[in-house]
């Protein structure tokens, strides 16, 4: 303080301000070199990687097992007094099932959730999470294996896979020899709507996807807030069945039509289709089959879930997929984690889980044709049933090469910017 406070104090004069700012500007470049010296870890991470194999049905991938990331040894007993940490989507696993597991193995289970796989991947890569089990989608598996976020499985702990799971998943194209993953649920992506608000015969339309562009339902149309799903829908609308397209022309068509959609109907973007539709927030929603099955439990009291319908192309040429369960490399309880995978593949746990989250597990004991009769799926939603044969006709959203992925993200950014 140059001046006595009582005699006026010190103002930040414009000159002093500029001087301060200038000082900062000069100091910064020198500091830059200093910071560079500290920031070794992120620099080295950027340099070493080669290209990533992309798994396709006609180009299956057998992921390598790295020397420094081997599977656990056979014959170990599960960790005692452990807390199994699970990293999963929100509302995607039945807590009662998890509690059963905890009781059986006398351990605790903690579930943390992520909102999308981009977020999950970046947080896992930051190396700060020590989860045991994670539920990824197929399209990020390659990145997870190459960056060694997941550990290879020791099959001796997971007999239920060969015993109970559909043969198609015994040796899947995205992970030959199921070295890193077991399947969790199967689903299709389609259109859901409320018959009490939308009188149109959507399945009878020449192109049912056109309903998303229908201005009569402005403000009541929701799309999934997932760039792959929403953009694949536009591709399918135009008869482009390569939902992993690398063509700039296809993508610019998608971009144009999404812009048109935004302009016409003010769509909302979210992944809460299972509550928005029963609550009447959305009248038409791009939706996952499993979410629609569970939407019946979110219907307000006194209203019948029969007003909810779901459409998936009857010829099976729509988006289909399955999610995975993996053991992370960071697992503190790898043996228990293997036991958890095995447990989730048991018919009892799988069925119980489905009775809550609505997503079908690819279990042999579950006959898709009987799910409606058994009461798991309302008769009005029988189109939400997924059959083994659907996988032969449907299209999966698979990993894109980074450059293409950037193009897809650009289209999505453009759409979201309105």
Partner 1 sequence: MRRRRRRANEHGIWYPRWYWPGLASPGALWLLVLFLVPLYTVLAISFGTIDPIFRDAVPIWDPLRWNSAAFIDILHKLAGSHSFLLPPVERTLIYVCAATALCLVIGYPVAYFVARYGGKQRGLLLVLLIAPFWVSYMMRMLAWINLLGSDGWVNRGLQLLHLVPHPINWLAGDPITVVLGLVYGYIPYMILPLFAGLDRIDPALLEAARDLGAGRLHTFLRVTLPMSKQAILAGMVIVTLPMFGDYFTNDLLSGSPRTAMIGNVIDDSVLTPGQGTDAAALVILLTLLLTIPMIYYLRSTAKAMREGV
Partner 2 sequence: MQKGIDAAASSISGSSRYLRPGVWLSRRWSSPWRRPLVLGTFTWIYLAWSILPVGIAMLFSFNSGRSRSAWQGFSWRWYFGDPTGSVLHDPTLHAALIQSLRLAGLTTLVAVPLGVLFAIGIDRWRGRAATSLNFLMLLSFVIPELILGVALLFVFSNLFDFIHLGTPAQLLGLITFEISYPVIIVRARMLSLGKELEEAAMDLGAPPTHALRRVLMPMLYPAIFASAVLVFASVIDDFIIVRYLSLDASTEPMSVAIYNTARASPTPALNALASIMVVVSFVAAVVGILTYRWLTKGERGKNDSAAVNLAAQI
CA distance 30 to 24: 11
Residue of 85, 143, 164, 179 that binds partner 1 (CB under 8 A): 143
Contact between residue 176 and residue 158 where contact means Cβ atoms under 8 Å apart: no
Name the DSSP class of 73: P
Residue 12, CA atoms < 13 Å, CB-side half-sphere: 5
Q: Does 43 bind partner 1 (CB under 8 A)?
A: yes
Q: Does 22 bind partner 1 (CB under 8 A)?
A: no
Interacting partner of 219 out of partner 1, partner 2, none (Cβ under 5 to 8 A depending on kind): partner 1
Q: Does 26 bind partner 2 (CB under 8 A)?
A: no
Stretch of 6-14, 194-202, 238-246, 282-290 contacting partner 2, by CB under 8 A: 6-14
CA distance 291 to 384: 9
Judged by CB, which is closer to partner 1: 69, or 404? 404
Q: Does 42 bind partner 2 (CB under 8 A)?
A: yes
Residue with tokens 């018959």: 195
User: Which residues in the 342-371 window bind partner 1 by CB under 8 A?
Assistant: none
In 3D space, the residue among 83, 80, 82, 102 whose CA is nearest the CA of residue 93 turns out to be 102
CA distance 39 to 43: 7
Beta strand segments in 41-130, E: 83-89, 108-114
Contact between residue 324 and residue 141 where contact means Cβ atoms under 8 Å apart: yes
**C-beta neighbour count of 324 within 10 angstroms:** 24
Contact between residue 285 and residue 359 where contact means Cβ atoms under 8 Å apart: no
Q: Does 373 bind partner 1 (CB under 8 A)?
A: no
Interacting partner of 6 out of partner 2, partner 1, none (Cβ under 5 to 8 A depending on kind): partner 2
Binding-site string for partner 1 from residue 193 to residue 222, where x marks contact by CB under 8 A and - marks none: --------------------------xx--
Stated as kind and residue range, the H or E segment containing 287 is strand 284-288
Size of the site for partner 1 (CB under 8 A): 53
**C-beta neighbour count of 14 within 10 angstroms:** 8
CA distance 60 to 125: 25
Whole-number minimum distance, CB 87 to partner 2, in Å? 7
CA distance 190 to 237: 12
Judged by CB, which is closer to partner 1: 24, or 373? 24
Judged by CB, which is closer to partner 2: 85, or 164? 85
Judged by CB, which is closer to partner 1: 50, or 206? 50
Q: Does 129 bind partner 2 (CB under 8 A)?
A: yes
Name the DSSP class of 150: B
Binding-site string for partner 2 from residue 269 to residue 308, where x marks contact by CB under 8 A and - marks none: -x-x--xx--x------------------x-xx-------
Stretch of 25-33, 67-75, 168-176, 363-371 contacting partner 1, by CB under 8 A: 25-33
Residue of 100, 200, 214, 270 that binds partner 1 (CB under 8 A): 270
Interacting partner of 272 out of partner 1, partner 2, none (Cβ under 5 to 8 A depending on kind): partner 2
Long-range contacts of 256-260 (CB under 8 A, 24+ apart): 257/213, 258/230, 258/231, 258/234, 258/411, 258/414, 258/415, 259/414, 259/415, 260/213
Interacting partner of 40 out of partner 1, partner 2, none (Cβ under 5 to 8 A depending on kind): none
In 3D space, the residue among 275, 272, 280, 273 whose CA is nearest the CA of residue 219 turns out to be 280
Q: Does 4 bind partner 1 (CB under 8 A)?
A: yes
Q: For residue 126, what are the contacts with CB-CB under 8 A and spacing of at least 6?
A: none
Instruction: Name the token pair of 111.
Output: 């579930």
Whole-number minimum distance, CB 371 to partner 1, in Å? 32
End-to-end CA distance of the chain: 52
Beta bridge mates, 363: 165
User: Which residues in the 377-406 window bind partner 1 by CB under 8 A?
Assistant: 402, 405-406
Q: Does 31 bind partner 2 (CB under 8 A)?
A: no
Q: Does 416 bind partner 1 (CB under 8 A)?
A: yes
- Residues in contact with partner 1 by CB under 8 A are 1, 4-5, 9-12, 17, 24, 28-29, 31-33, 35-36, 39, 42-43, 45-46, 49, 51-52, 118-119, 121-122, 125, 143, 146-147, 219-220, 262-263, 266-270, 280-281, 402, 405-406, 409, 413-418
- Residues in contact with partner 2 by CB under 8 A are 1-2, 4-6, 9, 12, 16-17, 19-21, 23-24, 35, 38-39, 41-42, 87, 90, 110-115, 122-123, 126-129, 270, 272, 275-276, 279, 298, 300-301
């Amino acid at each position: 303080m140059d001046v006595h406070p009582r005699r006026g104090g010190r103002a930040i004069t414009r000159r002093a301000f500029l001087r301060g700012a200038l000082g900062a500007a000069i100091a910064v470049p020198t500091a830059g070199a200093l910071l560079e010296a500290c920031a070794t870890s992120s620099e080295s991470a950027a340099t070493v990687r080669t290209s990533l194999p992309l798994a396709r049905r006609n180009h299956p991938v057998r992921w390598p097992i790295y020397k420094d990331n081997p599977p656990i040894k056979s014959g170990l007993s599960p960790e005692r007094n452990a807390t199994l940490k699970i990293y999963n989507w929100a509302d995607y696993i039945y807590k009662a099932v998890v509690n059963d597991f905890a009781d059986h193995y006398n351990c605790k289970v903690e579930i943390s959730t992520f909102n999308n796989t981009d977020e999950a991947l970046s947080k896992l890569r930051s190396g700060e999470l020590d989860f045991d089990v994670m539920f990824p989608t197929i399209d990020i598996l390659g990145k997870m294996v190459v960056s060694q976020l997941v550990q290879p499985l020791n099959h001796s702990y997971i007999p239920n896979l060969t015993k109970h799971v559909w043969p198609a998943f015994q040796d899947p194209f995205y992970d030959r020899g199921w070295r890193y993953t077991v399947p969790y649920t199967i689903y299709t992506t389609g259109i859901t709507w409320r018959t009490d608000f939308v009188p149109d015969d959507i399945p009878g339309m020449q192109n049912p996807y056109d309903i998303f562009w229908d201005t009569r339902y402005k403000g009541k149309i929701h799309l999934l807030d997932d760039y792959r799903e929403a953009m694949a829908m536009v591709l399918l609308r135009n008869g482009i069945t390569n939902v992993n397209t690398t063509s700039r022309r296809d993508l610019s068509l998608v971009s144009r039509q999404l812009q048109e959609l935004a302009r016409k109907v003010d769509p909302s973007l979210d992944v809460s289709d299972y509550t928005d539709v029963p609550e009447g927030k959305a009248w038409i929603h791009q939706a996952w089959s499993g979410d629609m099955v569970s939407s019946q439990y979110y219907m307000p009291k006194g209203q019948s879930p029969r007003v909810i319908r779901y459409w998936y192309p009857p010829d099976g040429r729509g988006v289909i997929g399955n999610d995975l369960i993996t053991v992370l490399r960071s697992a503190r309880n790898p043996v228990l984690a293997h036991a958890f995978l095995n447990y989730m593949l048991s018919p009892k746990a799988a069925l119980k889980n489905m009775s809550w989250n609505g997503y079908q597990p690819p279990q042999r004991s579950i006959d898709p044709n009987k799910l409606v009769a058994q009461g798991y799926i309302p008769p009005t939603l029988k189109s939400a049933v997924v059959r083994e044969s659907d996988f032969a006709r449907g299209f999966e959203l698979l990993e894109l090469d980074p450059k293409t992925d950037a193009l897809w993200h650009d289209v999505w950014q453009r759409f979201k910017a309105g």
